[in-house]
Structure 1
Amino acid sequence: MIRLVALGSVAVLSLAACGAPPPESADAPADPAAPTSPMEPGAPVSAAEKLTAQGFGPLRIGMTRAEVEAALGPDSDPEAVGGPDPASCDMFRPARAPEGLLVMVENGVLTSVWLTRNTTIETDRALNIGDHAAEVKRVYGAAAEVVPHKYEPAPSEYITVWSTADHQIAAARGLVYEIGQDGRVQSIAGGGPSIQYVEGCA
């Protein structure tokens, strides 16, 4: 899993290999006369949508980058470096995505969606950034897999829930909650095997 906030101010993503830009400030309020359905092309997506192992709002794991951009717009900060080789892996916030939401595109395909600080988006289990690790474990019960954090001592850890026994196959889908030193959720990722990345795209 990617290290999103464990380094304090780099709360958005400590992406050594796929350095994503910090989340932008919230977009200007949409025109009241504009379409509001998140599934309608060009419409902004609200934080009322839920992050799942399959994606978020109109975003679905397996979409092409072109489909991601058609759904929520292009990279909101195209000058930022999303990775050492953006053609093989890029991470960015689509222009019409809610604050704190990033997408990972590998080889032109959406492989995961990430929530970072300053977001009000919840998962489909009504969990959010800042929730206590104990609550995440309570919600998922025996389905929750808990492993030590890659860089920090306990209580930092990763709590992952998978839809398949084999986590490496392309069809695997899951959600991972990164827990920080305060025992609370620091970041959340939903999607395929890339949710396990620790250093950006690796």
Structure 2
Amino acid sequence: MTGVGSMRAFALALSILALAACQQDPQSQGARDSTVPALTVEGYGDMRIGMTLAEARQVSGRPMNNEALEPEISGACVEQQYTATDGDQLWLMFEGDRLTRVTASSEAPRTRTAQNVGVGSTDAEVRAAYQNVIEEGAHYNPPPAHNLLIWTVPDQSGLLFEVSETGVVTAVHAGGPSIRYMEGCA
């Protein structure tokens, strides 16, 4: 009897561990590639929210364009394309010469958050990976399309997942309050 009870306890423990693993790595996505940086509220790899355009140039090793930045205009905004190490194309938003947002969309299908969700994940996978998810209406698409917002610091830093009418994530925005902008800098 004691052996049977121990086996049941062991099987229960394995079941609990398997359920916990599913919350970290959604089954449809497989395990996140740990050699590639995660998209987080702090940025993507060495591209850190709050860094200057000059610092971003140094990190990327590329001559990011600042023509549209107009440094003499306070709060000027521009988005710059950035190629990640895995070939994904991310968008970096600079406001007043500071990086405020990183976006992964259709050009970044492999980019994932630390919880292994990104473009192509489902609404259910996002909700399973994060607590305190706020659902909002989509900017342009009618319901059932919507946005899922997760603040790590309310109205200061978080993630916004754009979810299509079919329940699939089409874009992920990470960073500061600019994650709520509808069209790039607007």
Please confirm whether the aligned pair reaches a TM-score higher than 0.5, indicating the same fold.
Answer: yes
Distance 1:47 1:153, change over 3 A: farther
TM-score, normalization by structure 2: 0.71
Find the partner of 1:181 among 165, 169, 174.
165
Larger CA Rg, structure 1 vs 2: 2
User: 5+ residue gaps in structure 2?
Assistant: 1-33, 71-75
| Residues 83-122 of structure 1: pairs in structure 2 closer than 5 A | 85-87=68-70, 88-94=76-82, 98-119=87-108, 120-122=110-112
Tell me the C-alpha RMSD between the 2 structures. 2.1
TM-score, normalization by structure 1: 0.66
- 1:15-37: CA deviation from partner (whole Å, max 9, x where unpaired): xxxxxxxxxxxxxxxxxxxxxxx
Residues 130 and 184 in structure 1, CA contact (< 8 A), matched pair in contact too: yes
Q: Deviation of residue 195 (structure 1)? A: 0.5
Counterpart residue type for residue 160 of structure 1? L
Paired position in structure 1 for 2:42: 54
Q: Deviation of residue 118 (structure 1)? A: 3.3
More strand by share: 2
Paired position in structure 2 for 1:130: 120
Residues 131 and 184 in structure 1, CA contact (< 8 A), matched pair in contact too: yes
User: 5+ residue gaps in structure 1?
Assistant: 1-45
Residues 74 and 95 in structure 1, CA contact (< 8 A), matched pair in contact too: no
Counterpart residue type for residue 55 of structure 1? G
Q: Deviation of residue 86 (structure 1)? A: 3.0
Paired position in structure 2 for 1:139: 129
Within 2, Cα distance between the matches of 1:200 and 1:194?
9
Aligned length: 145
Q: Deviation of residue 47 (structure 1)? A: 7.3
Structure scoring higher RCO (CA < 8 A, sep ≥ 6) equals 1
Counterpart residue type for residue 178 of structure 2? S
- 1:154 equivalent to 2:143? Answer yes
| Residues 61-72 of structure 1: pairs in structure 2 closer than 5 A | 61-72=49-60
| Residues 159-174 of structure 1: pairs in structure 2 closer than 5 A | 159-165=148-154, 167=155, 172-174=156-158
- 1:20-68: CA deviation from partner (whole Å, max 9, x where unpaired): xxxxxxxxxxxxxxxxxxxxxxxxxx97110000101001111000001
Within 2, Cα distance between the matches of 1:196 and 1:47?
29
Paired position in structure 1 for 2:18: none
Within 1, Cα distance between the matches of 2:77 and 2:130?
30
- Percent identical pairs in the alignment equals 31
Counterpart residue type for residue 98 of structure 2? V
Residues 74 and 94 in structure 1, CA contact (< 8 A), matched pair in contact too: no
